[in-house]
Structure 1
């Protein structure tokens, strides 16, 4: 089993958990991902193929920050980012790594949706069976936009890599990424139904909580508010300032967890403790509430412990995640245009005063913490063993023939807009 993923904790740790499940079922598991996760992968007893260095990983996170927050603001800058960080060359390296470890009839590739293109290329070249795994609904919601960026901004670089492996360049990226038959979504049905739903053939497996270090149960005189913006650097510069100010306004202690000191306020007030990292599996059930950025891993962990959550969601998938939680009635959130300490303090105080929240959340908490989700993923992956398939490109004419009249009208409007641009 070759697992390929890219990103931060929310993108990588669920794959580590899936890998551990597969290893416990007797499979040989290798995780291809960033060097920074070496310790987590080793702790799970899995083999690690690093795709970079820990220092290079942090440099890339810093470099990618502004483009991930708003990739349409400077499309040319996205191309420069790829070139500067050698991302096209990395794709080629990953294809070669897959092919070096591929044993016909015995190997399955499990790749992160959108970024796991090396798996699709290996499928075309060698018939490698591939499962694409999405960690957040936004990977499907944003696919038309991502497809346009891949074709019109990054197309020349991708074309060169595809041709170097004897493959035709991709012209329909949405169709290409959706052509894999086995597509697994790491969220439950209720979360899917609270927003734009994934395509019908996608299996909604449920949340897969990432493997995380455990620690002693913390002791506080008063349970604090946990403040975290995740492990990446794709974060609005005001996030921690507003969050800390809101806690101070209502007189609540706070535990601020962030491994990038440059994001911290210049000085932390009394009652705010800072840690570069914390074992959320242990800490989350014991805090009063969690004030976070809307990352999928953080919200799933909060759901699993029935911890009240308020979100300052900005960039990439976070507003979509936050809106889904709000529609389901399990969290409050603010878009960046409404970030101020008074408004946030009001939402936070209301969440803290909701005495019935944890009781109401008990059924969802049990579902979010269930080990059944990772078993469903493993069973679908195992179903691909021995099914070497030749991946065929989707025919654009067939896709157009299946469109509804409304979809055809929208597609025509997009084509006219592209010509105008």
Structure 2
């Protein structure tokens, strides 16, 4: 079977898809990933085929826009720069394949795959990494920087979700999608996020039910295998990192995310907080220009497999991206989350409910507040015990195997 994996996003979105692809290839399938060529080296090193969607320059252009991290404008930027431009590219590639010999396992925003399922008859599994994409009235996720009180009646929440789609999501996305649908001879679609983008064949959520339990208004053909990961064997810690880790106590890891180019204030506050705590730290970012001058006891790392680094860390301070979050859960370390946009606020709220994380919004991220939050996270024995408990629940290999089975049998 030829299995095609279309996906959109940053490293935290692409790496779990690579993990699925590697596992599916090991089970005897031919696997092709459709995504930005920004990830070409990583994908090809994993032994998978890549069909590029857009250019490296397109991806970098999106990173330059600070609005991508705005709680409301972020969706607009991603839609304009990635989701809609990729739709036609993905669809046109899929027209070259035989639907009887091909299976699609696509991220929800890979609209070209959903259109190919509808028009050309491909079998499609929609793969969601984040529960917030289900836009549930029962789950009451934080969306656009707003979380409604949990005590509001379900009827009101249902109205709110529909109005959000009617007045914000559909006007942003539906004109382009429906124009393309018209070209294909398909009728207009609505409620694109809440209903349409979920495949009628099968939907996977790559997270466990203890993180986000299925709700009555989630797709009824949904399965939750758990968190999926990819850790290549040829990507160990560098000698510099090994030496740093060996020279002192476990450091705190600070990162605003692999795609964040506007983290100057984040790192300044992180440096000041670490010094006040008397803690060593590793600052993880591809963009060195964001960093202040680092004194002794601090290390800048451009890129690392988090699964290898986080077990050596005291805590993780980060943006709340789902891929990074899964690695921190597996490492059994406390988390301080600074959510900017997209699924990050909802992820932060869920971890805080589990009692293993704290949250500071970007405007609250000062050295004083970071010290307060980390002092509690690092020193509370209940937090430590809960972190260890949830680490035992994360089984990447089992979840990957189960996800592959659900994909193969769709």
TM-score (norm 1): 0.81
Note the alpha carbon deviations across 1:126-184, whole angstroms, 9 max, x for none.
11010001111121235754664442134332232222222223233233123523110
Distance 1:42 1:275 in 2: 23
**2:114 aligned partner:** 120
Query: Offset of 1:357 from its aligned partner?
Result: 4.8
| Closer/same/farther in 2, CA of residues 200 and 243 from structure 1, 3 Å limit | farther
RMSD: 2.7
Tell me by how many angstroms 1:230 deviates.
1.4
Question: 2:188 maps to what in 1?
Answer: 169
Select which of 100, 103, 106 maps to 1:108. Answer: 103
| Residue 131, structure 1, aligned to residue 125, structure 2 | yes
Match of 1:189 in 2: 209
Aligned to 1:160: 179
Q: Which runs of 5+ in 1 are unaligned?
A: 385-421
Q: Tell me whether 1:308 sits opposite 2:304 in the alignment.
A: no
Q: Are residues 89 and 329 of structure 1, via their aligned partners in 2, closer, same or farther at CA, if it must alter by over 3 Å? A: closer
Equivalent in 36, 48, 51 of residue 49 of structure 1:
51
Distance 2:220 2:82 in 1: 35
The answer to whether the Cα contact below 8 Å between 2:336 and 2:373 also exists between their aligned partners in 1 is yes
CA distance in 2, matches of 1:280, 1:315: 22
Alignment of 1:266-277 (within 5 A): 267-277=293-303
Say which of 202, 220, 225 aligns to 1:205. 225
The whole-number CA distance in structure 2 between the counterparts of 1:59 and 1:203 is: 35
1:190-248 CA-partner distances (Å, limit 9, x unpaired): 11049999555421211112345631454232221111111112866632222222112
In terms of mean alpha carbon deviation, does 178-187 or 277-286 score higher? 178-187
Q: Separation in 2 of the partners of 1:195 and 1:241? A: 41
Q: 2:8 aligns with which of 6, 12, 17?
A: 6
Give the corresponding residue for 1:341: 367
Relative distance call for 1:354 and 1:328 in structure 2 (3 A) is: same
What displacement does 1:302 show?
Answer: 0.8
Q: Residues 186 and 242 (structure 1 numbering): CA distance in 2 closer, same or farther, change over 3 Å?
A: same
Alpha carbons 2:227, 2:399 under 8 Å: kept? yes
Cα distance in structure 1, aligned partners of 2:286 and 2:366: 24
**Relative to structure 1, is the Cα distance of residues 148 and 43 closer, same or farther in structure 2, using a 3 angstrom cutoff?**
farther
Cα distance change on mapping 1:282 and 1:172 into 2, 3 Å: closer
Q: Deviations over 1:316-370 (max 9, x none)?
A: 2111111111111121222334332212102112222245655543342132134
Instruction: Note closer, same or farther for the CA distance 1:157–1:367 as it changes in structure 2 (3 Å cut).
Output: same
- Does residue 214 (structure 1) correspond to residue 235 (structure 2)? The answer is yes
CA distance in 2 between counterparts of 1:376 and 1:86 reads 30
Please tell me whether residue 251 in structure 1 is matched to residue 251 in structure 2: no
Change (3 A) 1:148 1:47: farther
Q: Which residue matches 1:294?
A: 320
Report the 3-state secondary structure (helix = DSSP H, G, I; strand = E; otherwise coil) of the residue aligned with 1:349: helix
Partners of 1:214 and 1:196 lie apart in 2 by 42
State the match for 2:63 in structure 1.
61
Residues 13-38 of structure 1: per-residue CA shift (max 9 Å, x gap): 00000111111110000001111111
CA contact (8 A) 2:261 2:290 kept: no
Q: Deviations over 1:54-97 (max 9, x none)?
A: 2321112223x404523359x9x759x72xx4864431111011
Instruction: Please identify, of 213-222 and 310-319, the stretch whose mean Cα deviation from structure 2 is larger.
Output: 213-222
**Which residue is 2:152 aligned to?**
none
CA distance in 2, matches of 1:241, 1:277: 20
Residue 252 of structure 2: aligned partner: 225
What secondary structure, in the 3-state scheme, does the structure 2 residue paired with 1:30 have?
strand
Corresponding residue of 1:95 = 91
